[in-house]
Each structure stands twice: as C-alpha cells, then as structure tokens.
Amino acid sequence: MPAMARPRITLAEVAWKSFMEFDRQREYLALATYLPRKSYWAILSFIRQTRAIQSQLESSNGLVGYSLRAQLLGKKSWTLSVWKDEAALAEFVRKAPHAGTMKDLRPQLTDARRFVRWKVAGSDVPPKWDDALRRIGEGGSGP
C-alpha cells in the first residue's frame, strides 16, 4: 500500500502593502510578531479582529507598510510592519481596535508569542520574511 501523503498546511498571506512614500536613505522601525493560538476556536476571533485592525492600519499615521501571514490550521500567525518611528508604532498600539484586541487576545495565545523590533534601512523596505522569521526565532519578547 502506498504511503499516504501528508497534507500541506497552506499559509494565507496578505502581501506587502505600502502606505507612504519613504526615504531609502533613512532608518525605520520594523516590527515582526509571532502569535500562536492555544485553540482552533481562537481562529474565528482572529479573522474578525484582523479585519478591524487592517482598517486601523490603513488610517494610521507613520505606517510605512505591512504584511501578514496565517497558518489557520496550524493556529499560527505572523505580522511584519515598518513604521516611521517608535512614536508612530506606539500611537497605533494604544488606539482601538488594536488596544482592545491585544487585551482580549492575550489569554488565547501561547507563551511562545514573540514581538521583535529592529532598525531597517529604507533601502531594505519591505523587509524579507526570511529575515523577520529568523529574528523571531532568535528571541524577542513576550508581552
């Protein structure tokens, strides 16, 4: 009997979206997050919340751009964004719906969650997913 092929768990991806002109000669703030869920039930909430946060992103001051990946059957998601500076990111994080979403989401995430920031040259925007995933794997902080 032939071996059964393992099903592939496909990634859903929102390709990089740019929201402002940027200077290739200056530095920006990159943020990569890894958000693993504890249960499959959390995925439905994640999809709903992601749409609301995407709307917030589109009207945020100082957002250079972002991308999103989700492995829904694997209960995992990643974000990658670039911001004008720390102040622009902090303003986004403090506002609704992001602030409330993070409060609601925290109990649904495993302790493996990661948030990694680094400086990125304008000439390297958008950052590569491979680089972001490497940085997440090397560490970062949980909330």
Chain segment 90-101, per-residue pLDDT in tens: 999 999 888 888
Q: Can you give the length of the chain in residues? A: 143
Asked if the structure places residue 38 within a domain, the reply is yes
Asked if the structure places residue 130 within a domain, the reply is yes
Asked if the structure places residue 1 within a domain, the reply is no
Over residues 26-39, mean pLDDT: 95
Average pLDDT, the chain: 87
Domain count, the chain: 1
pLDDT per residue as tens digits for the range 36-49: 989 877 777 777 78
Asked if the structure places residue 96 within a domain, the reply is yes
Residue-range definition of the domain harbouring residue 33: 12-138
CATH number reported for the structural domain that contains residue 60 in this entry? 3.30.70.100
Asked if the structure places residue 4 within a domain, the reply is no
Asked if the structure places residue 5 within a domain, the reply is no
Over residues 115-130, mean pLDDT: 97
3-state secondary structure of 81: strand
Asked if the structure places residue 7 within a domain, the reply is no
- Which residues, other chains included, contact 1 with Cβ-Cβ below 8 Å and sequence gap of 6+? none
The amino acid that residue 133 corresponds to is: L
Lowest mean pLDDT among 29-38, 41-50, 79-88: 41-50
- Which residues, other chains included, contact 35 with Cβ-Cβ below 8 Å and sequence gap of 6+? 46, 76, 77, 78, 79, 105, 109, 113
Q: Which of 46, 54, 55, 53 is nearest to 113 (CA)?
A: 46
Asked if the structure places residue 81 within a domain, the reply is yes
Predicted TM-score of the model (pTM): 0.86
Over residues 23-47, mean pLDDT: 88
Q: What pLDDT score was predicted for residue 41?
A: 77
Q: Using the Cα atoms of residue 78, residue 84, residue 90 and residue 91 in order, give the sign of their dihedral.
A: negative
